[in-house]
Structure 1
Amino acid sequence: MFDPERLALRTKLEGDFYFFCRYTFKQMTGMKWSRNWHHELMCQKLQAVYDGDCKRLIVNIPPRYSKTEIVVVCFMAWCLAKAPDCEFIHASYSARLAGNNTARVRDIVSSSWYQEVFPGVQLDPSTGGKDHWKTTASGVVYAAGAGGTITGFGAGKLRHEDDEYRFSGAIIVDDPHKADEANSDTMRQNVLDWYANTMKSRVNDPQRTPIIVVMQRLHEVDLAGWLLSGGSGEQWEHLCIPAVNEADQALWPAKHTREALQEMEDSNSYVFAGQYMQRPAPLGGGIFKTGWWQYYQPGQVPKIRRIIHSWDTAFKTKDHNDPSSGLVWAECDNGYYLLDRVNERMEFPDLKRKIHSVNERWKAHAILVEDKASGQSLIQELKQTTLPIVPIKVDTDKVTRAFAVTPLVEGGKVFLPMGAPWIEAYVNQLATFPNAQHDDDVDATTQALNYMHLNGGKTGLLDFYRGEVECLELQTSLAKSS
């Protein structure tokens, strides 16, 4: 019997994948879908895959942000509704996890509401396993674990080259790496080899069958990183959705507020850089490698030539804003010693007072402040005092400035105070740069090292003798404090 309402619903579900996801979620769980803009963006990309406009797609997105629900479960169920003869291979780091996902697809297809709207999609009663089942129209859904064998199964259908394109299935890889194994070179390489030697060859039509990889980033050379760098020889479209955008806004505030994301980053900046920001930093292997730093015992600083303060300023106090970083450096004959660190979120008046108080403890030969929008008013006011303010104009980007000082760090010329309560946070930020959410310490460090190295401590005669006296007094103070 003709039912115009059911026909209208079917037309809407087939034509709008995002609507299909929301409707399916409500039917299967009884709950309303919590909408966010990134859901629709992913759905648009997947519709392009179905239409044949995208053959290789990588989606990088934080964990628990609906990636499996949309890219794996709903997409397969939607494609089968439109083309019941689709052939899918779905893989994840765990065969059990992949099987659970394909079982959810089967549950949707066999549900009463789906059968009412899409009666042409029927399960083959001879196949009931959750990790391998078929439709009566010769559709196939097969689940496997990354690294496992896939013998006798392929994705998509090989059609005559003159036939008009019609979607017939895909390979969908979801989180191929287990998070706690991604830093193992052996385990990670196993996944890359598995893709190259097994999964890539499972497309029945290499020219038409799409492959989708959706995952959180875990390592620079994880599967997504390897594929994007051309490791498989394929051209990939890349949809990268970080937890915090360039405007410093949370991706999905209903899921994680900006403040909650900041807490997550503070607890483990390395994990946050990869899994949430999709910019994995090498642990101890970025621009500043952790093994390059030298350490000194407090009280064992050699003769000091001059003291330099370096400030990277910010005037906002919200948790997600960059703090102001103030670093106190000693220039010695054998290198540069970090003596103290201030890292706080302060309003303008508090920042001025802090700069004065730091100078009272560590008398500076020069106080460096970057001449940028947030520092210009500070520079103007502090120049009215007796503080030796030196505005620093920059004409290169942060990464270029960082690379300029890496020879000093790598050459063992930069010393950090052993046992300082803040030293771990400082080293972690520099180790994850440029992928860390904050780079205040990095900016203050590169500013100081570039200044000291390029200026070489040249002063007039009066300044020289005054500096000698001040450094002798500081040396005595450091020795007593040890």
Structure 2
Amino acid sequence: MHGFIEEHWSILEPKRPFKTGWALQAMCMHLEAVTEGRIQFLLMTVPPGMMKSLLLVFWTAWEWGPRGMPHLQVLATSYSQPNVLRDNLKLRRLVESEKYQALWPLQLRADQNAKGKFENTENGFSEARPFSSMTGGRGDRVKIDDPHSTETAESDAERETAVRIFREGISDRLNDITSSAIVIIMQRLHSKDVAAVALSLGIGFVHLNLPMEFEAARKESDGSVSGGPCRVEVDGELFFEDPRTRDGELLFPERFPAAEIARLKKAKGSYAWAGQYQQRPTPREGGMFKRSWFEVVDAAPATTRKVRRWDLASTEQSAGGDPDWTVGLLLSECAGTYYIEDVQRDRLSPAGVDRMLKSTASQDGRTVKIRLPQDPGAAGKAVASHHVKWLVGYDVRATPETGSKEVRATPVSAQAEAGNIKLVRGAWNEAFLEEVSMFPNAPHDDQVDALSGAFAELLQMSSYSLANVA
């Protein structure tokens, strides 16, 4: 199928050069397995720009022509009626092209040759319908291309309607329930979208999941962590495995180079990037914090009760990578109200982290307490000892952390909900709010961890108890 696409690409895209890579070949390989009857229900979750729509157009033309299956009857659908009609016209244009006809002289019926549905003389047809109108009609192939739109997936009502249509209106659209196939190809837009439901039902969907950037450890929408590449088994044997091994390796660098990915990440924001490009959607707001809880003020009251709490990492930013951040959060307290006065945040080498610690301490002054995390084990103690010595002359201490990040954040969450934690206006505000509102499902939680540690330290220093400030 991949060779067929390359050979006939210019018919549908005469001005755009054909670019390929292992990811496109993997998608073709899975569709070939559907044609061969090895996969009946296929779900492919891939980022935008991965030729999702064109791939399904070429697949039908390939089955009708090179695979000698012109009798196949196809129902094609998408959330967008204009899009699915556009792609049906592309299929008709490809099949009627001189190049295609020279090899596979498939004739279309004159009495059923509309843009919404056309038939060939071998009893095959391709019918395009919007996803909202899938009642009636059956096919040997049901092709679902993005059942949600980016505009409506956030709406519970719209999303649940799409899920209901999938559950009630798709499964019985098959000509033969034992051999007809359903193929879904989509970008993830919500933790409860059609892809999530298709997998949760346990009805046999084979899942090809291709994030734009490789993640050795993935934080899923339920907060769990899974690791390693996507692995697909068919007939009890390994059929495909994502060949990437390094964090940040790109899915399709031939079309999306590192510079373009960096631009896209900035434009999209972490929420959209996590779902649409990394295929791990998270709730727009996590369960522990909401943006509206954090009032932004122009300044904090004068107080000597301040602590700069650090959450340390030591990996520099690299092309295509998404390492953790080194974060230093300055928290002060006055009469039971807490003020996040500043957040220093960067991705640095170990030497860069040392410089950042020293320069920030110098700016804060010697009255501000400095608290560092101490990782378990001898190596963690050695690193903590190094940092304490590096900050000689300051009130600095390293302490082990106990309990999960969520447990440590719980007291902070209660105070934030009560309106007792405020932000001092600064350029860092938006990045902080975006991370904290998605916690614990955000790609990074360094700022939340720093906040939890600073809050715990101020409580220990304070004459207030949790009961006093609740």
TM-score normalised to the size of structure 2?
0.79
Number of the residue aligned with 1:94: 80
Matching residue of 1:199: 170
**Aligned-partner SS, 1:138:** coil
1:53 and 1:84 map into 2 onto residues whose CA distance is 19
1:406 aligned to 2:394?
no
Which of 116, 124, 135 aligns to 1:131? It is 116
Read off the aligned partner of 1:415 and give its amino acid letter: I
For the pair 1:313 / 2:313, whether they are aligned, the reply is yes
Q: 1:38-53 to 2 correspondence within 5 Å?
A: 38-53=23-38
Secondary structure, in 3 states, of the residue corresponding to 1:147?
Answer: helix
The letter of the residue matching 2:77 is: A
Match of 1:180, SS state, is coil
Residue 264 (structure 1) aligned with residue 235 (structure 2): no
Q: Quick one: distance in 1 between partners of 2:358 and 2:434?
A: 28
Task: Quote the Cα distance in structure 2 between the aligned partners of 1:64 and 1:140.
Answer: 27
**Partners of 1:179 and 1:95 in 2: CA distance:** 15
Instruction: Specify the code of the residue in structure 2 equivalent to 1:343.
Output: R
How big is each residue's C-alpha offset from its partner over 1:161-198, in whole Å with a ceiling of 9 and x where there is no partner?
A: xxxxxxxxx10110112211221222222212222232
Q: Distance in 1 between matches of 2:347 and 2:189?
A: 30
Residue 209 of structure 2: aligned partner: 240
Report the equivalent of 1:145.
130
**Counterpart for residue 299 of structure 1:** 300
Shift of 1:91: 0.3
The corresponding residue for 1:77 is 61
Partners of 1:425 and 1:39 lie apart in 2 by 34
CA gap 1:451/1:133 in 2 versus in 1, 3 angstroms: farther
Structure 2 counterpart of 1:325, one-letter code = V
1:405 partner letter: A
**Is contact 1:283–1:432 with CA below 8 Å preserved after alignment?**
yes
Distance 1:388 1:229, change over 3 A: farther
Paired residue for 1:383, among 379, 385, 389?
A: 389
- Residue number in structure 1 paired with 2:241: none
Letter in 1 for 2:393: T
Q: Residue by residue, what CA displacement relative to the aligned partner does 1:116-146 show, whole Å, maximum 9, x if unpaired? A: 2223x32223221122011111112110001
Cα distance, 1:304 vs structure 2: 6.1
Q: Deviations over 1:174-228 (max 9, x none)?
A: 0112211221222222212222232222112223221111111112222222322
Which sits farther off after the overlay, 338-347 or 410-419? 410-419
Q: CA deviation at 1:27?
A: 5.1
Q: What corresponds to 2:346 in structure 1? A: 344
1:9 corresponds in structure 2 to none
1:215 aligns with 2:215: no
Going from structure 1 to structure 2, the CA distance change for 1:367 and 1:215 (only over 3 Å counts) comes to same
- 2:239 is matched with none
Asked whether the 8 Å contact 2:375–2:400 carries over to 1, the reply is: yes
Query: SS where residue 280 of structure 1 aligns?
Result: coil
Between the aligned residues of both structures, percent identity stands at 25
Measured at CA, do residues 394 and 257 of structure 1 come closer, stay the same or move farther in structure 2, by a change above 3 Å? farther
1:425 is aligned to 2:431: yes
Give the match for residue 238 of structure 2. Answer: none
Deviates more, 1:110-119 or 1:92-101: 110-119
Q: 1:194 to 1:236 in 2, by over 3 A?
A: same
1:115 aligns with 2:101: yes
Q: How many matched pairs?
A: 419
Query: Shift of residue 410 of structure 1?
Result: 3.6
Residue 219 (structure 2) aligns with? none
Q: How far apart, in 2, do the equivalents of 1:248 and 1:434 lie?
A: 21
Structure-2 residue corresponding to 1:461: none
Tell me, yes or no, if the aligned pair for 1:368 and 1:448 is still in contact at 8 Å.
Answer: no
Asked if the contact 2:145–2:184 (Cα under 8 Å) also holds between the matched residues in 1, the reply is yes
Q: Following the alignment from structure 2 to structure 1, what is the Cα–Cα distance between the partners of residues 443 and 263?
A: 12
User: In the aligned structure 1, how far is the partner of 2:213 from the partner of 2:400?
Assistant: 28
Give 3-state SS (helix, strand or coil) of 2:44's partner: strand
The answer to whether the 8 Å contact 1:219/1:282 transfers is yes
Distance 1:60 1:219 in 2: 12
Which secondary structure state, in structure 2, belongs to the residue aligned with residue 198 of structure 1? helix
> Deviation digits for residues 75-114 of structure 1, max 9, x if unmatched?
1111212211101100011222111111111112222222
CA contact 1:287–1:403 (8 Å) conserved in 2: no
Displacement after TM superposition at 1:350 (Å): 4.2
Q: Tell me how far apart the structure 1 counterparts of residues 21 and 440 of structure 2 sit (CA, whole Å).
A: 28
- Summarize the Cα distance change of 1:297–1:199 in structure 2 as closer, same or farther, 3 Å threshold: same
2:198 is matched with which residue? 227
SS in structure 1 opposite 2:271? helix
Per-residue CA shift, 1:24-48, capped at 9, x if unaligned?
2145545652111110111111112
Counterparts of 1:370 and 1:134 in 2: how far apart (Å)? 69
CA contact (8 A) 1:311 1:367 kept: no
Change (3 A) 1:321 1:96: closer
Task: Report deviation, 1:73.
Answer: 0.7
User: Take 2:439 and 2:21, find their aligned partners in 1: how far apart are those partners?
Assistant: 29
Letter in 2 for 1:245: F
Residue 289 of structure 1 and its aligned partner are, at CA, apart by: 3.3
> With structure 1 as the length reference, what TM-score do the two structures score?
0.77
C-alpha distance in structure 2 between counterparts of 1:229 and 1:244, whole Å: 25
Provide the rounded CA distance (Å) in 1 between the counterparts of 2:456 and 2:46: 37
Amino acid at match of 2:283: P
- Give the number of the structure whose residues are more often strand, by fraction: 2
Whole-angstrom CA distance in 2 between matches of 1:408 and 1:131: 56
User: Is it true that 1:36 corresponds to 2:38 in the alignment?
Assistant: no
Distance (whole Å) between structure 1 residues aligned to residue 167 and residue 304 of structure 2: 57
- Counterpart of 1:101, as a letter, is D
Match of 1:255 in 2: 255
